[in-house]
Structure 1
């Protein structure tokens, strides 16, 4: 524990701190997918078509946008995705099909303190529970921690959104608590669950995700051999 001259406990010193650079609208390339800056003319039709494969609208329940009744309604939202600088939206491109199958964003960017939130995770049925879904998250983490040297990476969701909370924990985030009545959206109140991943945790988490994403971790049918948690447990031992 660090203390000041008054014997009061204080946070650990950070020497020569400089504010961090803003994330850029740049291409992030992986084994299975590529994240590219969202462009309406390149991605909107593919994504609307991919989202339309869902059997119902349940994927939009805990999101601040959607569902969209038609392409024109989605297009209005997509136009905002392209011009926005916070959030910065990226389309998730399947490297085999070269089709956009989802989108994801960096948001609430705090360069002074090196903090950024991941949000607007809009995964189509083609993307959910695939290697691409995990790699898209990994690519953003890698960009934030390895290249931009941020200290803290946040994940927030509706407290009722159990799939999102489970995904955060699976990917190595730590649950920090729930902020009650934080947001009003879709004519209802939202308590928000907060998760974070910090720079000192990234080295282990990076190794875990890289091991899980390795093609050798999948059998001939494309099924995982070891889960992320099994890999994490092995590396911690």
Structure 2
């Protein structure tokens, strides 16, 4: 069986706005989004575990947080988006494309920092879906998810979203003066249609009822 491909490199994301049912994604704009992000990521109601496995944070002062946002906004890889709750208009988190390699058709979703209002809600799932959908629409072959192997929350999220575990890179990094073994996950283009259908089923009005979901994302993916 031949592995030959009639290959055309993938397109590059341009940080265009992306709209979903629960959230919209916009390119990170520190001037417009910074106050909300400071409140949801560092304020009194923020998630105390948010920064445990990220290579930066928490931030003791607004000025250092603003410099971090400014640096993120200027970057093209990672390419940062703000997550805006459609009901309230509040910016409730950020995430990014990263490791963008269009000539090989691969990209990663990472640098995820969701405020407490996004966690255990359809909003975080929809944000990952929208970035995944655009990435594959641009012609990519592979979507990656990487996290500290000790980060049980991120590993559960990857599996729930439909990523396939590929292995652990031992002694991969030193982060905050601690060893990081990195767990690798992926979705490839052949798997994406079924994964996308699961997302769409789970996010639908029929499934998302006022009292909560009728079916889990995993069961939606299975059909």
| Matching of residues 89-104 of structure 1 within 5 Å | 89-104=80-95
Task: Give the Å deviation of 1:90.
Answer: 0.0
Equivalent of residue 21 in structure 1, options 7, 11, 33 = 11
Per-residue CA deviations over 1:131-159 (Å, capped at 9, x if unaligned) read 1110000000110012x010000000000
Per-residue CA deviations over 1:20-65 (Å, capped at 9, x if unaligned) read 2211121111111101000011111101101124466321110111
Per-residue CA deviations over 1:173-231 (Å, capped at 9, x if unaligned) read 0000000011111011100000001100011011110000001112332x110001122
Per-residue CA deviations over 1:44-87 (Å, capped at 9, x if unaligned) read 11011011244663211101111111211211100011100110
Distance 2:198 2:39 in 1: 33
| Matching of residues 29-178 of structure 1 within 5 Å | 29-51=19-41, 52-54=43-45, 57-146=48-137, 148-178=138-168
CA contact (8 A) 1:156 1:193 kept: yes
Computing the radius of gyration from Cα coordinates, the structure with the larger value is 1
CA contact (8 A) 2:170 2:180 kept: yes
Relative distance call for 1:134 and 1:55 in structure 2 (3 A) is closer
Distance 2:180 2:55 in 1: 11
Relative distance call for 1:78 and 1:204 in structure 2 (3 A) is same
CA contact (8 A) 1:89 1:105 kept: yes
Distance 1:75 1:185 in 2: 22
Structure 2, unpaired ranges of 5+: none
Distance 1:65 1:29 in 2: 29
CA contact (8 A) 2:46 2:115 kept: no
Equivalent of residue 206 in structure 1, options 196, 199, 221 = 196
Q: Does 1:195 align with 2:185?
A: yes
State the superposition RMSD in angstroms: 1.2
CA contact (8 A) 1:29 1:35 kept: yes
Distance 2:69 2:189 in 1: 32
Q: TM-score, normalised by structure 2?
A: 0.96
